[in-house]
Chain A
Amino acid sequence: MTRWTSQQVAGLAPDASSLAAARRLARPGPWSDTGSTETLLWGKCQGSGKTPYQVSIDLTGPAFRCSCPSRKFPCKHGLALLLLWVDGSGSVADAAEAAGFALEWAAERSARAGAKAAGDAARPTRTPDPVAAAKRLEERLALMDDGMDDFARWLTDLARSGTAAARHQSYAWWDGTAARLVDAQLPGLADDVRSVGGAVSGRPDWAERLLVALGRWWTATRAWSARASLDEAQLGDLRAYLGWSTTTESVRRADAVTDRWLVLGAHRTDDGRLQQQRTWLRGAATRETVQVLDFAAGGQVLPVARVVGSSLDATLARYPGAAVRRALFVDEPAVADSGVGMPSGASLEDARSAAAEAWGLNPWARRIPVVLSDVRVGVDRVVDGDGASVALTDDADVWSLLALTGGGPARLFGELEESRLRPLTVVVDGEVVGL
């Protein structure tokens, strides 16, 4: 197996300090019994204790196991071993046969996967009571109907008295509306109301933003009352916006597609309460770009980030939707190739019309994934070969981008959000770098 780049290993680290700790360990000193095969990488790392930690890595996942007590995942030992392996200076040699502890683990893993597959296959036989389910659905729909009616009345009241008056309302007023939406099981809509309400007093462009938000909310109420006429995809997008979740089981059963998926880029956010990880994948055959979302709250840890620029052989189940669809991995993907790069990109004008088309299909999509070719990065915007330009989002890591590209043309992957771009991946000298 071709060894990865240290950049790719860095992308797997749960946080900066783990990576730094791993870099310290990534020297031959503390390691013994190391080796690698096509799929497995293993070694023993002498820590502060008496017995060395046993580290095993399944390179196809990648998946990690380490006997250390760290709650970080992957832990510094796993990352360090990968770094050592990537280093290629001979400290981790290729072996024909994996070490005992690594083999055992690999066997356990495949046994577990088999058992899980069997369990999944067995599960549909335990169907829940259809009568009770139908009753629950009916109750929920009634609750949502009432909530939507209430919200539509609130919107018309606001339109009658004017947005200038609404601007002077306290946050509690917005929050109260949001709370009623939550009670009506419309949490997605409630989040939107809270975020717009929170921004209204402080922003210079508040009037247009609020007006556009009113239009969006109104569209949601109209779409909801006309939901009988929506097709499954349109309803799926609306459900996602309102926050009526689709169970992963029903997603798994419905629309799975097997393909070779290229990891375009990823973005992590942490609002202190909830960590979110968004991974964009493009299918080689389907040519569709989907997003996989991971969440972690409280003490949970987000799953390991996929290596940007690598390809995964996987079956993805797509949530119902018309454009910019969400998907989930049906089973653990296998790394097919760790460094194919980025697909060729488009001009900004082409990207903009592709985005407009996507928004035409799914008006609720907040961001549209785009690959841009030959764009030059400036301090607050990117400019393409035609001189067309788009501003960067406030959270864009513009200094890293500038340092890497030096103002020269580069290929970028990012998200178009409203009229701005959030760059997530850049290709420099043929190397794919996640930002």
Chain B
Amino acid sequence: MSDLDTWWRDVGNAALLGTARRPVPPLPDLGRAGVLASAEGRPREEALLDAAALGGAALRAGRRLEHADPPDAAPDDRRPVAPRLAVQLLELVMTQPPAGAAQRTGLLVHWLQAADDSGCRVPHALLPTLLALATGARELRRPTAAVLDERGRWLAGLRDEWSWVEGAAAGAEARTASRTEGTPPDPDEWARLPSPDRIAVLAGVRAHDPGAARELVRLTWSTDSARDRRAHLEALRIGLGPDDESLLEVGLDDRAGTVREAAAELLDALPDSARAARMAARLRPLVRRTGLLGRGVEVTLPDEPDPAALRDGLGKPPPRRSARGWWLEQICAGAPLDIWVELAGADPSATLKRLTDAQATDVLAGIRRAARSRRDPEWAAALLERGWDAALVPALPREPRERVVLRRVDATSERAHEIGAVVGSVDPPWSADFSVALVSRLRASKVGSTMVVASMPHLLAGLHPAALDPLERWIESTGADQILLTNLRNLLQFHSVKRSITEAFR
């Protein structure tokens, strides 16, 4: 400690207690600085204030710089920055969401995925804002992590609040590769991937190469947890086919009930499988034609299942269901639908009409499930004739599907709040014709405003750009309904910005 440091410390102590109790330390020799000590006989307090002034000046001007190791620099980025126009759109969406704050996340996800698909990264200047937004909205995290590149990951590593990036970025590459090119990760990487990323990778690979995805599931089947095994089976729903049967049969013998259930449910969707044939064999003795002309159909409840039936899913019923009724439903859901034509001797529509006895509810529930999981258009159409069921709509081919839904939209004008479920039954993105027809129906409806509000999420996700012009004309002509106007404007903005984003990455 130098003389000056000691002196300054003593000055500090004297100041704390006050000069009434402490003397002021004499100034050390400052050599060339040529500072003169306070004159003899000056009041103590003035000497202290002089010392404070001097010390303050010395402290400010004379403080030595600290030394520190230079901080670690970020590695070089590997991707090119997003195109300029796209960057402007990102800034716009982040700072002033064009379709209202509620729609910001949707647009951001679209931007981030478009950037990832074209192999771009976020410009450095926008990283802090994007990271802050994704910290607040979980659904942004994975798409964000995919386009941060080295600089962004490095930056996130410096701040505790952004520590989620490390986890989200780990599987980002594998996810991107599987989504854009269907490339499966190598076995080691697959084994190390966190569960949510595996699901995303499976979905990606499955869309391109179902066999490769199935191999991934097999690869770690023996070591995966029951929860993962179930989730992986669920992922096979994409592109499900006869080749998956053997793995699903393995699933039927799984030690975990949840996995067995998932396997059985997937096998329901394969009418040519061995399990479907076993179910058909169980169903045949239960169905009998009645009446003189054989136009009635009577179904009896099945008996206690044998071990083989138990394995096929005729297990414990859900709460408040009769066990035998449940088994009947399971059998009907698993058996090929064609068997009804054989057993009832009529087409689907007529068969359904003949099912009127006490067991009809369970049988219909099973047939419904079968039609849904197999996307059987004929049976779905026949069932829909009898009553609306949004879950059956996707089984129809595009044209009848959209026709059925539009008809339902007309019929729903009394119960406008149900419209969401109705239009939601058509997978986004919608066709141009359907989008335009839907907009014109909403516009013509007396309760169009309520309907728009109720179906907003689906309109945002599904509407085809071809509907934007009619939408704009609707906005121009609409009157004082502010809620409707705001919603329509948001809708229009959302889609036009979304389209601009897509174009900006081209």
Contact = CB atoms under 8 A, between A and B. Distances in A.
Given A160-B19, A218-B49, A403 B127 contact: yes
A390 B11 CA distance: 26
A379 B74 CA distance: 13
Contacts of A383: 68-71
Interface stretch (A17-25, A117-125, A231-239, A306-314): A17-25
Given A160-B20, A163-B15, A377-B71, A16 B98 contact: no
B363 to A, nearest CB: 58
Interface string A368-397: 000000001111010100011111000000
A349 B67 CA distance: 11
A250 interface: no
B92 A24 contact: yes
A388 B159 CA distance: 24
Q: How large is the interface on A (under 10, 10 to 19, 20 to 34, 35 or more residues)?
A: 35 or more
A404 interface: yes
Interface string B124-152: 11111000000000000000000000011
A359 B57 contact: yes
B56 interface: yes
Given A215-B57, A379-B71, A408-B73, A17 B96 contact: yes
B15 A214 contact: yes
Interface string B151-173: 11011001100000000000000
A219 B60 contact: no
A161 interface: yes
B73 A406 contact: yes
Which secondary structure characterizes the binding site on chain A? helix
Interface in A120-176: 155-157, 159-165
Given A160-B45, A162-B18, A387 B69 contact: yes
A214 B16 contact: no
A387 B96 contact: no
Given A16-B95, A163-B15, A378-B68, A403 B61 contact: no
Interface residues of B, number: 55
Nearest to A7: B125
A50 B128 CA distance: 41
Contacts of B55: 211-212, 215
B17 interface: yes
Contacts of A403: 124-128, 151-152, 155
A403 B148 CA distance: 11
B292 to A, nearest CB: 75
A269 interface: no
Interface string B94-116: 01101000000000000000000
Contact of B73 (A16, A391, A407): A407
A352 B158 contact: no
A380 to B, nearest CB: 10
- Give the most central of B44, B66, B70, B72: most A CB within 10 Å: B70
Interface in B1-43: 11-12, 15-21, 43
A162 B127 contact: no
B71 A159 contact: no
Given A23-B92, A379-B158, A218 B17 contact: no
A250 B224 CA distance: 83
Which secondary structure characterizes the binding site on chain B? helix
B54 interface: yes
Contacts of A388: 65-67
A400 B159 CA distance: 13
B56 A215 contact: yes
B56 to A, nearest CB: 4
B49 to A, nearest CB: 4
B16 A163 contact: yes
A257 to B, nearest CB: 27
A222 B57 CA distance: 15
B65 A348 contact: yes
Contacts of A212: 52, 55-56, 59-60
Interface string B296-338: 0000000000000000000000000000000000000000000
B358 to A, nearest CB: 64
Given A24-B98, A399-B155, A403-B125, A215 B70 contact: no
Given A20-B92, A23-B92, A162-B15, A214 B62 contact: no
A4 B95 CA distance: 22
A403 B48 CA distance: 47
A162 B52 contact: no
B96 A24 contact: yes
B91 interface: yes
A356 B59 CA distance: 10
A235 B63 CA distance: 27
A161 B48 CA distance: 12
A113 interface: no
Contact of A20 (B49, B52, B96): B96
A107 interface: no
Nearest to A429: B124
Contacts of B12: 207-208, 211
A418 interface: yes
B427 interface: no
Given A24-B96, A399-B128, A407-B72, A162 B57 contact: no
Contacts of B95: 16-17, 19-20, 23
Contacts of A156: 43, 45-46, 49
A378 B71 contact: yes
A145 to B, nearest CB: 18
Nearest to A388: B65
A379 B127 CA distance: 15
A407 B154 CA distance: 9
Contacts of A218: 49-50, 52-53
A363 interface: yes
Contacts of A433: 125
B88 interface: yes
B88 A159 contact: no
Interface string A174-215: 000000000000000000000000000000000110111111
Interface string A1-39: 000001000000000110111011010000000000000
Contacts of B98: 24
Nearest to A418: B60
Given A387-B70, A407-B74, A407-B154, A159 B65 contact: no
Nearest to A6: B88
Contact of A159 (B18, B126, B128, B158): B18
Contacts of B63: 419
Contact of A162 (B16, B56, B62, B68): B16
B135 to A, nearest CB: 12
A404 B73 contact: no
Given A162-B17, A216-B53, A418-B60, A389 B43 contact: no
B71 A407 contact: yes
A17 B19 CA distance: 56
Contacts of B128: 399-400, 403
A390 B158 contact: no
30 contacts: A21-B96, A26-B88, A159-B19, A159-B45, A159-B46, A160-B20, A162-B15, A162-B16, A162-B17, A207-B12, A207-B16, A208-B59, A211-B12, A211-B15, A211-B55, A212-B60, A214-B15, A218-B49, A348-B65, A349-B65, A355-B61, A359-B61, A378-B68, A381-B68, A383-B70, A387-B69, A406-B73, A406-B124, A406-B155, A408-B73
Lowest 5 A-B CB distances belong to which pairs? A162-B18, A20-B96, A215-B52, A378-B71, A215-B53
Interface of A: 6, 16-17, 19-21, 23-24, 26, 155-157, 159-165, 207-208, 210-216, 218-219, 222, 348-349, 352, 355-356, 359-360, 363, 376-379, 381, 383, 387-391, 399-400, 402-404, 406-408, 418-419, 428, 433
Given A376-B71, A403-B125, 18 more contacts: A23-B92, A24-B96, A26-B88, A155-B45, A160-B19, A162-B15, A163-B15, A210-B15, A212-B56, A215-B57, A216-B53, A356-B60, A356-B62, A388-B66, A404-B124, A404-B125, A406-B155, A428-B124
